[in-house]
């Protein structure tokens, strides 16, 4: 810190809230001084140390957060076993009142190295493409349970416990249909790691879409699909805490080129 810095200016510079900085550094007031070292989390939330009896759902409830967001940010796979003594970041979590907890300490540089984000993954709307994608769930089913957040969630989650079919939101060519990570047998609702059963469509305009955590896949690589055609079934395979579709839009096909799907959807 340098002379003139305040928690407010630091929070503004790092694009987090004052409360997030205070929770990460166990500060009880807004007073800071030159030369003081602060830990700055990568986004708003709470950094905690896993204790005996903690589960993903109990932590989500305690810190008013999403269990799926916790799993995504911390790269936790099914069955989401937590190891006592390890650090866990609760994105967008809120410290329960009135009892603060002592949080684990990490340096800002270690956060950046583990959770860096390039300008391409933030992206901006491409005026040459426009909103070309429809709703990817058959019959208009499902509801958004988690939005694109760039730094730790590179797509949009759409949840529905009835496991409806996934449809192509625009015409294109299947360039991937298979297992990304580890997968249970097709037809299984749960199991595996990472994206698990997934599909990727090239829409022929420089952009692709990715569909993850599927239960079933109805298409094959190289196949052409039309808008509205069923391509798979929603599931909860891989890094998923409940039935949902993880939907990404990529500028190109590679991981790391994700952009906010809402730039290109007409929902």
Tens of each residue's pLDDT in the chain, 267 residues: 556 667 777 777 777 788 888 777 777 777 776 767 777 777 788 888 999 999 999 999 999 998 999 998 888 988 888 999 988 889 888 888 654 444 444 333 333 333 333 333 344 688 889 999 999 999 999 999 999 988 779 999 999 999 999 999 999 999 999 999 999 999 999 999 999 999 999 999 999 999 999 999 999 999 999 999 999 999 999 999 999 999 999 999 999 999 999 999 988
What DSSP element (H or E) covers 48?
strand 45-49
Q: How many CA atoms lie within 13 A of 195 on its CB side?
A: 19
pTM exceeding 0.85: no
Query: Structural domains in the chain?
Result: 7-114 (3.10.350.10), 120-263 (2.70.70.10)
User: CB under 8 Å to 123, separation ≥6 — which residues?
Assistant: 251, 258, 259, 260, 263
Q: How many CA atoms lie within 13 A of 139 on its CB side?
A: 8
What DSSP element (H or E) covers 166?
strand 165-167
Pick from 58, 56, 54: nearest CA to 242: 56
């Amino acid at each position: 810190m340098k002379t003139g810095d305040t928690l407010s200016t630091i929070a503004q510079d790092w694009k987090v809230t004052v409360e997030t900085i205070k929770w990460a550094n166990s500060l009880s007031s807004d007073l800071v001084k030159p030369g003081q070292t602060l830990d700055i989390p990568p986004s708003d939330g709470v950094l905690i140390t896993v204790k005996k009896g903690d589960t993903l759902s109990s932590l989500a409830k305690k810190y008013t957060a999403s269990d799926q967001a916790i799993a995504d940010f911390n790269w936790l796979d099914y069955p989401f076993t937590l190891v006592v003594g390890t650090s866990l970041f609760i994105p967008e979590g809120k410290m329960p009142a009135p009892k603060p907890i002592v949080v684990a300490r990490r340096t800002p540089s270690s956060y950046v190295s583990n959770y860096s984000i390039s300008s391409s993954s933030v992206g901006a709307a491409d005026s040459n493409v426009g909103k070309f994608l429809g709703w990817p769930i058959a019959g208009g089913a499902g509801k958004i349970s988690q939005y694109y957040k760039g730094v730790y969630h590179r797509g949009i989650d759409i949840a529905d416990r009835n496991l409806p079919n996934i449809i192509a939101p625009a015409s294109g060519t299947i360039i991937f249909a298979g297992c990304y990570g580890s997968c249970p047998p097709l037809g299984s609702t749960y199991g595996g790691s990472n994206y698990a059963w997934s599909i990727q469509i090239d829409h022929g305009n420089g952009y692709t879409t990715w569909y993850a955590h599927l239960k079933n896949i109805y298409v094959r690589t190289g196949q052409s699909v039309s808008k509205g055609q069923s391509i798979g079934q929603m599931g909860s395979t891989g890094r998923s805490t409940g039935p949902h579709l993880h939907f990404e839009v990529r500028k190109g096909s590679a991981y790391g080129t994700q952009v906010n799907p809402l730039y290109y959807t007409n929902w």
